[in-house]
Amino acid sequence: MKLEIGNIYVKDVVLSNRTALEDHVLYINEDDIKKIVLEDERIKNITVKLAKPGESKRITPVKDVIEPRVKVDGGGSIFPGIIGKVDTVGSGRTHVLKGTAVVTVGKIVGFQEGIIDMSGPGADYTPFSKLLNICVVIEPKEGLKQHDYETSARLAGLKVASFIGQVAKDIEPDEVLTYETKPITEQLAEYPDLPKVGYVYMLQTQGLLHDTYVYGVDAKQIIPTLIYPTEIMDGAIVSGNCVSACDKNTTYHHLNNPIIEELYKHHGVDLNFIGVIITNENVYLADKERSSNYTAKLAKYLGLDGVIISQEGFGNPDTDLIMNCKKIELNGIKTVIVTDEYAGRDGLSQSLADADPLATAVVTGGNANEVIVLPPMDEVIGTYDYVNTIAGGYDGSLKPDGSIEVEIQAITGATNELGYNRLSVKTI
């Protein structure tokens, strides 16, 4: 499959009486957004707020972050099986409103939802502080069950992002990037002297409100399978989970997976990027065994020399991560695992809940238990009602002056396990 990504760099977003894109300025009509979202009778009302880099604004509790995109040609539509028909995506051309995001906010669904600060020390921990955020604050109808609320909030964000993305359809992009993965026999033969590398993409599916969707199907229901990397870049996978905000893969993360982009940059240079194996994270041991066995089998079947494995979440999924790593290594395939750490506030505790001597190459997104004080902001988009109870907070996190003391696991994207975060390392 060959996919062209046409990036249109947006310089500003303005609330207006129309929805349009002119001279790199995105105009948003709140009534247009309301009309789309309130088609869902489970939602009582919404408001649209803008949050821009450097502003004294705090967004919480954050549910999802979604990049507006539109299919220009090649068949299918963005977010197939959810917004559009279940057509295969990953080819043709897609236009992207780069530098913008739709952020869904509102009454909490699960306790593991997060915070985005647009300025101050908290902004340094989240990549989303650098975007022009179109915040859709959702007010559900009274008595709505958690699963129904999660579904309505997820659909609202995807609908709004898809609608806004339409303004880019006939705009000439500022740049066009091309990505291609060929059918497997052609791909294997293309660079016979380079090591064959694949990517095992672990999707969060671990129980209640821990859902990820592949072409509209809850990934709990799948066995590990092959997917073109361009399908992921084109909206085939979307977020629907309430794991800790720091290492949750939002829909924005799936669309902009940096591991996939880096593998494409190295393809044909020092490796042959063969493709992606998607797998789930399970609750029960038998399911973990099934998925890890199948993942290792697919890696061997493809004849891979090396594999990168990324995790989503922590704790129980650490076992899925290590089982995937160990079984792939036992097939003679070198692995690198990408995770984050919960090493305690002092950094001295065991970082992962599971380990194995074969897991010798590890990339970390940072220690989610690190504590930070977020200063007061002039405006809160959403509500402070849940700051003390979200993962990373505690009874007393919210101070009388509006400052918040939390672990960085409460900050959306702070220790993301795809590496789409702002933490790094330095040599001292």
| pTM of structure | 0.96
In terms of DSSP bridges, do strands 217-218 and 210-214 run parallel, antiparallel, or are they unpaired?
A: antiparallel
The amino acid sitting at 164 is I
**How does residue 113 score in pLDDT terms, banded at 50, 70 and 90?**
confident
Which residue among the candidates 135, 242, 246, 325 is catalytic per the annotation?
Answer: 242
Is the pLDDT confidence value at 110 over 80?
A: no
Greater model confidence, 306 or 241: 306
* Nearest-angstrom CA–CA distance, 154 and 251: 10
Largest CA distance in the chain: 64
pLDDT digits (tens, 9 = 90+) for 11-46: 999 999 999 999 999 999 999 999 999 999 999 999
Is the pLDDT confidence value at 129 over 90?
A: yes
**How does residue 348 score in pLDDT terms, banded at 50, 70 and 90?**
confident
**How does residue 74 score in pLDDT terms, banded at 50, 70 and 90?**
confident
Q: What is the mean pLDDT of residues 110-129?
A: 92
Whether the upstream peptide bond of residue 121 has omega within 30° of 0, thus cis, is no
Instruction: Kindly state the percentage of the chain with pLDDT values over 90.
Output: 86
**What integer pLDDT is reported at residue 25 of this predicted model?**
98
Greater model confidence, 42 or 207: 42
**What integer pLDDT is reported at residue 152 of this predicted model?**
93
Is the pLDDT confidence value at 112 over 90?
A: no
**How does residue 6 score in pLDDT terms, banded at 50, 70 and 90?**
very high
In terms of DSSP bridges, do strands 69-73 and 92-98 run parallel, antiparallel, or are they unpaired?
A: antiparallel
Exposed, middle or buried: residue 130 (CB in 10 Å: 0-12, 13-18, 19+)? middle
| Among 265, 292, 275, CA closest to 196 | 275
Write down the mean pLDDT value for the chain: 94
**How does residue 84 score in pLDDT terms, banded at 50, 70 and 90?**
confident
| SS3 at position 365 | strand
Is the pLDDT confidence value at 426 over 90?
A: no
**What integer pLDDT is reported at residue 262 of this predicted model?**
97
* Residue indicated by tokens 């690190």: 370
Q: What angle (nearest 5°) sits at the alpha carbon of residue 78, between those of residues 36 and 40?
A: 25
Asked whether the beta carbons of 241 and 402 are under 8 A apart, the reply is no
pLDDT digits (tens, 9 = 90+) for 272-294: 999 999 999 999 999 999 999 99
Asked if 135 is an active-site residue, the reply is no
**What integer pLDDT is reported at residue 111 of this predicted model?**
65
User: Which backbone phi and psi does 202 adopt, to 5 degrees?
Assistant: -85, 125
Tokens at residue 337, please? 């695992």
Instruction: Kindly state the percentage of the chain with pLDDT values over 70.
Output: 99
| SS3 at position 373 | strand
**What integer pLDDT is reported at residue 327 of this predicted model?**
98
pLDDT digits (tens, 9 = 90+) for 373-402: 999 999 999 999 999 999 999 999 999 999
**What integer pLDDT is reported at residue 422 of this predicted model?**
83
**What integer pLDDT is reported at residue 267 of this predicted model?**
97
